Amino acid sequence: MRMYDIIAKKRDGRILTDEEIAFAVNGYVAGSIPDYQMSALLMAIYLKGMTDAETATLTEVMARSGDMVDLSPIPGIKVDKHSTGGVGDKTTLVVAPIVAACGVPVAKMSGRGLGHTGGTIDKMEAVPGTRTSLSEEEFFAQVRRIGLSVIGQSGEIAVADKKLYALRDVTATVGCIPLIASSIMSKKLAAGSDAILLDVTMGTGAFMQNLEDAIELARLMVSIGTAHGRKMAALITDMDRPLGHNIGNSLEVQESMAVLQGKGPADLTEVCLQLATNMLLLAGKGDFKTCRAMAESVLNDGTAFTKCCQMFEAQGGDTTVLRDAARFKKARYSRAISARADGYITAHNVEDIGIASVLLGAGRQTKEDSIDFAAGITLHKKLGDAVHSGQTIATLYADDPALFTAAEETFCRSLTIGAEKPQEPPLIYARVTPQGVERF
């Protein structure tokens, strides 16, 4: 078997065998296949695509290139949730405690932010003292004891994905549905949960810019998970506006805690309840109405907030900041952004809003960058809101005032103000299951 022949076969649009896919991926991980040949294969896949069967095989080979976590020592159906990324997407910090408070164990591995999208682990580390790197024994023991732990991904999970993603990032092959699906699902399969809910974001702040592409990605990932014995579902959620009002790590933690205390923004609260309800459905806790009532109950009576505090405390976090947001370290400087005209906010370019937060220090432009946990943006006005010239529509936060100029320019570029109030998009566009697509 030669890599040259595999590249040529996919270049010509033919279907690769399981053995050829395994040869290419495992050879690249082992170092026997050079970057330039794997780059050529990735471009051929980008241009010619893959069948569902090819993508399922690629996913399994990538999953098995590193450690496969066995969660069987934890009793019950373990349910995971994965978001394809967005701006202001702090749902894990709300959803995981809700689900755990309903008696479903959540043993979750999450990632860090890169580019304009934030990462759950960075948000957790904004809580002073929080450990996100636990041994397997500590991880399992914590989930058995309190039903919940969210930690960083092990360096040995889906090793092939790390190597292939780094290559895709510099060869313009990131935006390919089979490669996105295999990247996400290889990590999810390796993480060992029995059921997986996918939050596939769609809009200007997401990988998927239109509904049909988002549904296709969701359908493919649900198919892969189902083929590997996992209970699967996906929601297509809106990312043409940031979730909630806060963007930035400690700011997003504060807003998540507000939701868990019953005083968070309506859009974030509703998306979290939808995600939690669908996770409970996958865990077999009842029909949709029953699961929704369970999720609302633990949110309203404070049980989910208590569960969240238990998780942070177990992982060394200072829970006083969760109970009192004023105790979070604040940015040294702030700058108010004013509307430049009367009218309505008719469009957000959410990616630009995310980039503005990165320019303030809230995210990374390279993997080596450090994060200013207090930096970020608070939105006082969002899509559909009326604004008046000179009215404050957002506040930027940073520890270095020199960062404001570029961030303000980028943020203002992200907004369109028009005379007519726009029709607001739905929070949830569709639900994808092995049985098909339900559009809302």
Residue numbers annotated as active site: 82, 161, 168, 183, 187
The token duo for 284 is 């077999």
Contact, 156 vs 162, CB < 8 A? no
Residues in the chain, how many? Answer: 440
Contact, 400 vs 258, CB < 8 A? no
**Phi, psi dihedral angles at 417 (to 5 degrees):** -110, 125
- 244/382 Cα distance (integer angstroms): 9
Could you give the angle at the alpha carbon of 258 between the alpha carbons of 365 and 272, nearest 5°? 75
Amino acid (1-letter code) at residue 409: E
Neighbours of 380 (CB within 10 A): 15
347 pairs with which residues across the strands?
416
Contact, 195 vs 281, CB < 8 A? no
